[in-house]
Amino acid sequence: MFYQNMRKVILIITYSVLFNTYIQAQQTKEIDSLVKVLQNATTDTGRISAIGEVVKQYLVQTDSVNAFKYAYSAASLAQKVQSPLHKAYADHLLGYIHHLLQHEDSAIYYYNRLLSRLESSTDPKAVRLMIYGANNLAALYSKNGNMRKSVELLVDNLPRLDRANDKQVYEFTIHNLSESFIITGEYKKAYLYMQQNIALAEEDPQPEARVNPYLSAAFLMYKMDSLSRMQQYLTKAKENLDKARPDNDYKVKYLAYKATWYAKTGQIKAANEQMEEAFFIVSKWPDIGNDFYDLYTAKEEVAAAAGNYKAAREAALLLYQKARNDKYAEILLANALLIANYSARLKDYKTAYEYSNLYASLSDSIRYTETVLEVSEMETMYKTAEKEKQITRLQGEKQQVLLENKNQQLLNTLLGTGAGVLLLIILLLAFIYRSSKKQAALQLKKVEQEQELKLIQALLDGEERERLRVARDLHDGLGGALAGIKLKLSHDPAVDEKVVAQLESSISELRRIARNLMPERLMQSGLETALKDLCASFANPKLEIEFQANGISQDIPLTTQVNIYRIIQELLANSVKHSGATKIIVQCIQEGKQFLVTVEDNGKGFSVTDPQHSNGLGLNNIHSRVKNLRGSMDIVSEIDEGTSVNIELYV
């Protein structure tokens, strides 16, 4: 889980080095003297170079207004010159300023144009300019989630770095490649580049230069489930942290990783001590910046390892909110799933359902599989560069043979083209035929489904009409007759009071049956009130029924309300009759035209694959009503684990 923050930190470091190194290598001059140099320049290329020095000096003074002014004047002059190097240098200045000001789209545009101008140049200055442009462009693409393009740029930069002999930038590029393969889950490739990165870092005499590679290696070992190797790299990172400047930026990251290692090895107390120290450090800072992701990811993992899923969910929620503000899609995706899982563990099914839907929506937009394949393709392209050179040489040797066979090849081409066109026509006709046949089959199936729905609706309407008739006959006919008999008997002193009481009980039972056949509350007060009364009628001292409703509209058609009522009535009857449950939860949620029903009990459960249970008359009736409302039903049940029925309807 740490990879998201790690990626962000690495790219910010690379960004700083690639720009600041370029500036600090220049001799600092006063702006006035630099402007005089510009005024004395006699050629447009000389003016562009002088403008570059003025722009850098204004940026050192954080004066972006004047920096933009001079950079755009360089772009105007670049339109007049023939030199691709100076045209690209003007693009570099504008891309540089936009990058510093986080105008990402504009920065991407100018860096891409820089690379296109110099793609065929071998001039050392052009190569160095391409290195800076490509690495910074890779940082931008990676931040925006385009790992394929980012890795492509980094891999393409390796031969340039070899030619330029720039050890520092080469080290950062190798590091970023390793991080990229960690993100895509290709840990073996990441390990190869990480080993190169560590070897280069260990040649640096400064301990600060070795801390981050060791921490990154520790994280890679964590992802590869090598906890012993993770501990070794954490130990090396700690040794160099102790030797580094007190104001270095890696203390919190180290504590977060160490806490995760303790949690992974079951040492919860030690993990909490590391977290307390980390939070104590960041409490002194007004803005913890990039350490937020490391810190709260570690907090989530430590809480989860301790079984405190409420605290784990709180940390995941904070990460989700931060990622949403920072527009980091991968972090949003990972934490949406975590929130859903922890909510399910906490039996907060509404939140679990909400974030499960968010996860599904986000995962559709993040194509991990394609990214992995494309990253591998970029690496393969780099490794085969030398083979392509050899192929080019062999093609040159074959040019004479190809020239001699030109006429024969032309004839073969014409014949092949004719055959290809004919085959294409045949395939097209076959495709049209198959498409027409498929369309006709789909249309027939649609008509059959519509007819089936009409039949189901007719059967349900007939059933409801018969229920209404029987309910009225019972209530008005037999009920009235029994009430009259009771009245007469109650005034006859010769009749035993127990007989009158039994008759009163029979009249009450008759009325209850009539209400079940056609509930008056549904007609009078609407679906939500009727369902609440229905749940209350099924409850008893040994059975608690909890009814939850949200957003149920009063505008649902009456026939649809009756269908929903009957579905829930049948589900409750089945649960009360067969499950032996002590608690039932009925949840109804309406969102627009979508109506969600969940009925869950803690009863004895049953096997959903057993035809005796899955094909009963009650479930068949429910299936028919669900189908009539263009819905779907999912039953989850295990022996001694209770039963959960989830229904999605469209009203």
Q: Which domains does the chain have, with CATH numbers?
A: 1-162 (1.25.40.10), 166-248 (1.25.40.10), 524-650 (3.30.565.10)
Asked whether the beta carbons of 584 and 599 are under 8 A apart, the reply is yes
Helix (H, G, I), strand (E, B) or coil at 267: coil
Lowest mean pLDDT among 335-344, 370-379, 454-463: 370-379
Residue 593: alpha-carbon gap to chain centroid: 26
Q: pLDDT, tens digit, for every residue of 66-100?
A: 999 999 999 999 999 999 999 999 999 999 999 88
Considering all CA atoms of the chain, what is the largest pairwise distance in Å, rounded to the nearest integer? Answer: 132
Lowest mean pLDDT among 165-179, 432-446, 596-610: 432-446
| Bridge partners (DSSP) listed for residue 545 | 584
Predicted confidence band of residue 377 (pLDDT cuts 50, 70, 90): very low
Predicted confidence band of residue 385 (pLDDT cuts 50, 70, 90): very low
Whether residue 228 has pLDDT greater than 90: yes
Q: What is the pLDDT of residue 597?
A: 95
Q: Rounded to a whole number, what is the distance in angstroms from the first to the last CA of the chain?
A: 41
Q: What is the pLDDT of residue 456?
A: 56
DSSP state, residue 597: E
17-34 average pLDDT score: 52
269-283 average pLDDT score: 91
CA distance linking residue 293 with residue 253, whole number of Å = 9
Higher pLDDT, 481 or 102: 102
Q: What is the pLDDT of residue 118?
A: 92
Residue 124 has phi, psi (to 5 degrees) of: -55, -40
In 348-377, which positions are buried (b, 16+ CB within 10 angstroms) versus exposed (e)? bbebbbebbebbeebeeeeeeeebbebbee
Predicted confidence band of residue 634 (pLDDT cuts 50, 70, 90): very high
Q: What is the pLDDT of residue 142?
A: 78
Whether residue 604 has pLDDT greater than 70: yes
445-471 average pLDDT score: 62
Percentage of the chain exceeding pLDDT 70: 76
Stated pTM of the model? 0.49
Higher pLDDT, 5 or 290: 290
Q: What is the pLDDT of residue 23?
A: 38
Q: What is the pLDDT of residue 397?
A: 54
Q: What is the pLDDT of residue 378?
A: 47
Asked whether the beta carbons of 5 and 326 are under 8 A apart, the reply is no
Q: pLDDT, tens digit, for every residue of 500-530?
A: 677 777 776 666 665 656 667 787 888 999 9
